[in-house]
Amino acid sequence: MTKTGKLPKRFPKGVELLQDPRLNKGTAFTQDERDELKLHGLLPPRVNTLQEQVDRVLENFRHKPTPLEKYIFMIGLQDRNETLFYRTVIDNIHEMMPIIYTPTVGEACAKFGHIFRRARGLYITANDRGRIAKILRNWPTRDVAIIVVTDGERILGLGDLGADGMGIPVGKLSLYTACAGVDPSLALPITIDVGTNNEALLKDPLYIGLKQERLRGKPYDQLMAEFIRAARKTFTGTLIQFEDFATGNAFGLLKKYRDKICTFNDDIQGTAAVTLAALLGATRITGQDLKQQRLLFLGAGEAGTGIADLVASAMVREGADPDEARDRMWFFDSKGLVVKSRKDLASHKKPYARKGDFLTDLLAAVRESRPTALIGVSGKAQSFTERVVREMATINARPIVFALSNPTSQAECTAEQAYAWTDGRGIYASGSPFDPVITQGKRHVPTQSNNAYIFPGLGLGVILSGARHVTDEMFYTAARKVANMTTESMLAQGSTLPPLDKIRDVSATIATAVAEYAWDEGLATKNRPADIMGYVRANMYGAQYDTYV
């Protein structure tokens, strides 16, 4: 953004300026700016403040009849006036996050081809082998600090949405800016369109992607390898975040590239960190150490095993034996309990396979494992039945029930159900937001265990330090920082994470800790400042208009 002073020769004026969302101020252009920038007559005569513009946005936003209409309205605002969009979101994060991200972004992706207005980011297809670098150079700037990329195969709990999954990287990058102050000009959303196996999309005349079956095997790997090489060459030092890839590709890409480039997978590592943070908060309520927890996961994909890996390593950091820590993790997948006698286990499940009988009933698995925490990452709505949750309440004085699947419609149980079935003793968290619940005269505020507590701040710390790699230690550090920011009054109402309106403070704290770790461990490529927190705060985008004349 151009700051006060002499404008560059190519600075847009008139209609061109009003059509540039990064520079446009709409009715907030001053009279002097209107004179200098040839805007007189192109705007109503009244000059508005940014706050007056926010008030107008909110009035229109709140009149929209459905969450999807609100989403479309806000994306339209982002396309017209980026500063106003982010100012509105930052000042109203609790109201806006469910619209610009989960759960509404799920519905938006499911209908993406039907609500499509304007292209954002870059699309790379299976037909672009050999020219990916050329496509990346079509992006108007080389100053890209963060790329969020998806191939659309596992969008939230909705499955294969192909190119319609672009709403996810767009939404994630909006949260990088709103929650952590990453300058939006440094962000690039990318969709790798390798086709879709979703028959409804293949038959939909308004689908925006390739109408072909998904690319698999070696051709897929070669396409992704070319993309990584081209991205590293075109955008030097960029952090690449993998998002919503199917389990096999998610683990494969992370394993292949995590030690070669600056990258992470939010579904594996970000979900793990925020769940660990929520679990640490829950242990403060129960009075038990993390090492004492026994976790039963419903779902054994990338989210579940990622959580288990990080929690087990956290237990070891706190003094547990590694084998004992791993033995405290139980998994129940689509077929039943993950045990050694099964011959159908994917490689990422095998480390958690246990000795014992193969059980196909979740209630029986709860009785067998006697978990302190039941964690849902299955994408199967209402799979935590009343009998299962009541059994958790029989085993534990304060049962931990985390129904983490997104969007809201896919949650394993609702907050109201969890509190009712545990007589108000349950400690509940979910992936998408639920309203407070009054049970037996007590008000419970359920925790939204949203990855936005982790990845924006972590990413900011990586960017500002110029870290060469993203490590598991960074995610553990981030989880601990978030957990430590949960106050006693929050815990008293059942919340295991800070409120969303504190998210920028949370992100600044995480960014400071991650950057400090990068400098301490020799991973950073930028000069270390004397005051890291001050450096972080000074580099957080604030969504305020610049003065052009």
pLDDT at 2: 44
What the chain holds in terms of domains, given with CATH numbers, is 14-100 (1.20.1370.30), 104-261 (3.40.50.10380), 269-452 (3.40.50.720)
Concatenate the DSSP letters of all residues of 192-254 into one string: EE-----HHHHH-TT--S--SPPP-HHHHHHHHHHHHHHHHHHSTT-EEEE-S--HHHHHHHH
CA distance 6 to 289: 59
335 is catalytic: no
**Peptide bond preceding 407: is omega within 30 degrees of 0, i.e. cis?**
yes
CA distance 92 to 95: 6
CA distance 533 to 537: 6
Residues of the chain with pLDDT under 50: 1-4
Catalytic residue among 70, 172, 349, 481: 172
Phi, psi of 542 (to 5 degrees): -110, 0
pLDDT at 407: 87
Closest CA relative to residue 458, chosen from 518, 534, 501, 531: 518
405-436 pLDDT per residue, tens: 988 889 999 999 999 999 999 999 999 899 99
Concatenate the DSSP letters of all residues of 90-137 into one string: HHTHHHHHHHHSTTHHHHHHHTHHHH--S--SEEEEGGGTT-HHHHHT
368-414 pLDDT per residue, tens: 999 999 999 999 999 999 999 999 999 999 999 999 998 888 999 99
Quote the tokens at residue 253.
């890409």
Catalytic residue among 70, 71, 86, 101: 101
pLDDT at 1: 41
Closest CA relative to residue 173, chosen from 219, 222, 238: 238
